[in-house]
Structure formats: C-alpha cells, structure tokens
Amino acid sequence: MAELQYTTFDSIQDHVSHVRQIFNTGKPRDIKWRKFQLQRLYDMIAENEERFYESLAKDMHKPRNEAMGGDIAPVLDECLYFLDNLDELIKDQKVKPRSGINVMEKVVIRKDPLGVVLILGSWNYPVQLLLVPFAGAIAAGNSVVLKLSEVASHTAALITEIFPKYMDTSCYRIVNGGVEETTFLLQEKFNHIFYTGNENVARIVMTAAAKHLTPVTLELGGKSPAIITPDADIQLTANRIAFGKFYNAGQICIAVDHVLCPRSKLNEFVQALKQTVQQFYGDRPQESKDYARIVNNHHVERISALLNNRSSGEIAIGGEIVKKERYIAPTVVVNVQPDDATLMSDEIFGPVLPIVVYNNIEEAIGIINQREPPLALYLFSKDQKVIEKVLRTTPSGGVCVNDCLMHQAEYGIPFGGVGASGMGSYHGAKSIATFTHERSMLVKKQKMEGATAVRYPPYTDRKYNLLRFIMVKHPFMLKLKSYRQPLKLLFALIALLAFYLKRR
C-alpha cells in the first residue's frame, strides 16, 4: 500500500476552482451522467472489495464481517438505490395552487443541485461515511470535493489510488491532509459542507461555513444511552447491547455509550454480559479475529485515561489494555454515578461500557434529559406504555427499540442528530433533499391580462373587494369543507331522485 500523500495548498485551490467551473457547464446535472457515475462508484467498491478489507484490517484490525456490513454494503446498496429510483426522486413536483389568483397557473417545485459540495469523511467508517453521502451528492447533480480522513491512512491511500480510475475527476476531486490542509480547505467557498465527526471540530466547520453563509450538515455523536426496563429479556438484551457497544471496538457514533439498568436487574445483566462476551470473543478476546483494535495510540491513551481516572464504579468485565497492540478489552464498569466527571462527561467512543443503576423509569428519563440530546436512544422493554412514555419525554436523533445500531442500517428512514448530536440528515431520498435546493416555480401564460389587471393601479374599492374575495378565504369555507362527504352523498341522492322522477 502506497504511503498517503498530503495535498498541497495550491492543489486544494485548484481542485475547488476546477470542479466549480465544471459544475457551471452543467455536466454534473445531466441525469444520464449522474447514473453513469453512480455505476462507476459501485464498480469502484465492488471490484476492489478485497483490497478494502485489507486496508480496513490494517487501519483497525476490522473483522471482515464488520467491514462488509459497516463499510462496503451500505455504499453498494446506496448506489443501486439511486440507480433504480433517481428519475422518480428528482422529478418536478406539481403543486396545487393555494392562492385563487394562481388557480389556473402551473406551480412546481424543482430539485436543483446546490453546486460544489464538500464532504469531510471520518476515520471510524472511512468508506461508508465518505462514500454514502458522496453517492447522494452525485445523485443530486453536484460537483464534489472529498476530504479523506488521514487517521485511517491505509484506506485513504487506497481510495486515492483507485478513485481516478473510476470517477470523473473533472467533477469530483480528493483532498488528503491533516489539520493544516483541512483548515486551508475550509477557507474556500462551498455551496454545502457535510461533516461527520465530533462536536469540537463541528464548531470549527460551522465557523468557517458562516463566513460564506454556507449551509452545513453535521453528523456528530453524543452519549447514546440504552435503557433496560425490568420486564426485558435480560440475555437477549445483553447480546444486543454487547453487539451495539463492542462492534468496531466501540468506535462508532451510535454505539451504546452507557446503560441505564434497574437496580434489581444489575447482577443478572452483568452475568448475561459475561456470557455474551465469552460467546462473541472467547476466553481471550485479544486473540479473537472478530474483535477490532483502536485506530491509533492517541485514542488508546484517551480511552485508557477515561477508564483509569474515573471517579466511580468497579470493573466487572475486562479492563486489560495492551498499548503496543492498540488493544483494549471489552470492558464493563458497574455502579457508575450519573455525574461521574470522567466516564459520564463526553462520548467514550471505545469499548468501555459504564452501567448506571436507577430505581424507576422517571429517574432514568431524568438522567437522559440532564444531557444534550444523544444521536441514538436504545430502549429494551416489552411494555408498550413504558416505551411510549420514554419516547414522548426524551429527545434523540434516532431511536432503536429492542435492538442496537440497526436503525442506522435502515436506509429507508433519515439518519441524523438533533441539538449537539448534529443537524440535518441523509440516506436514500433524504440525501437528495439534503444536497438539492427546492426551487419553487410559478409558470404563467401571456394571457388573461384583463383579469390580471385587477391588481394594477389605480386602486379602487371594487378592485380591493375583488382581490380580497379571491385571496382571503372566508372561515365559512373551512366549515363547509368539513361537510364535504355528507354533501357529496346528498347531491348524489338528489341526482338519483331526479333521474328516477324523470323516468316516471
């Protein structure tokens, strides 16, 4: 694998300038061209799938199943979805005029590409989180600049190598680099910025975007809780929470950050977790081929510090750290206090699972509502009333009931955060909405000037009354509308009666 070469400042400026010039020619807007590029993106992943598995293993020891499910399959599926549905997704939307003045006119909403889109990828899923939004930006008809994550350097080097062999580099360009290159890139003007990452960098992105009044989509994270209610199937819950926490060694924005467990179920849940971890990874997870590694030494040190500097709780499972291998064992810490300044302050983003006990569901809801809204909320319960109560009284970007992570994998629904966990959303049809502008259009004919003249000066009482009659609906019309079905039935009966009498 070639070493990752950073993009020069001059090249960054050239990339942005060039793709804007090409966008202005209309080339990326052509529907046949969009479909061709989506097919080429599909081919780029499908024909190099084994190489992607190799690069992801080098970056994070990512197991093949996790690399396929978390990185490869989402991009392939998104490309196929757009190829199959693009014509319908981007067609003009006809609108029934509300105003009486426009009742005879053509009113449509057209989905116009935004222009030049910047997509800032993330290291934890360096294929999915870069190329799924890229597919949406292509489908929407934009030119795109892709900033790859330098942290997952092997995967970034692979994408940089093969990208020009498949994609049209007059419309789409790649930028590689660290903080300096990214800072320089953000000085350029874009029509939309799409960022996946953490809250601190998001503030930098928003500040840079504000200088050009550029809209942003921010896919962030937060402390996503999993609530267990007393009636839940504990072993099933342990299986699914372990999956939602230790998948990719917890390096996922929607990972279960901590568990809120009924005090009466704590011991049973911990025993179930021990059984699950043993089933997943064996007696020595360090030797398991199915357990990922932390991406670099910096994050090993960060997660180690969270574990070692905690102010509450005891390690019930795991706790082993081998820094030279970037290995942190699947770790569970019990009896953690909700206000623990270390474990319960920021998103953990690693394989350390704090368990906080609660006495009643109101207490659990209160713990959640004391924090910023999380990107995901997980709830394990059989009681529909409790489920509805939690959903009604807590905020979150998304929700998954009785499972973990899988709502993000359902691309038929939007994925995104709220508040500090992000703004905007994407996936499937929502990506088209994110990367297009709804251009409202009223198309009139050069006719009926006599009727139109009622709006022209000189103004008279007659014109005023006529305009008001056309433009302001009387409340009586709303009441009449509520009786529409009975009136239709009445008129039908009258018509039948008239027909019968005429036959007589």
| Catalytic positions | 219, 253
Q: 376-380 and 225-228 as β-strands: parallel, antiparallel, unpaired?
A: parallel
Token couple for 227: 């609530």
CB atoms < 10 A from the CB of 328, how many? 27
Q: What sign does the CA torsion over 430, 431, 432, 433 have? A: positive
Residue 225 · residue 371 · CB < 8 Å: no
As to burial, measured by CB atoms within 10 angstroms (0-12 exposed, 13-18 middle, 19+ buried), residue 463 is middle
Give the C-alpha separation, 108 to 117, whole Å.
Answer: 25
Integer angstrom CA distances of residue 325 from 58, 302, 315, 493: 12, 15, 21, 83
Non-local (6+) Cβ contacts of 122 within 8 A are: 129, 130, 149, 196, 197, 253
DSSP letter, residue 68: I
DSSP string, 419-447: GGGEE-EESTHHHHHHTEEEEEEEE--S-
Give the C-alpha separation, 55 to 224, whole Å.
Answer: 29
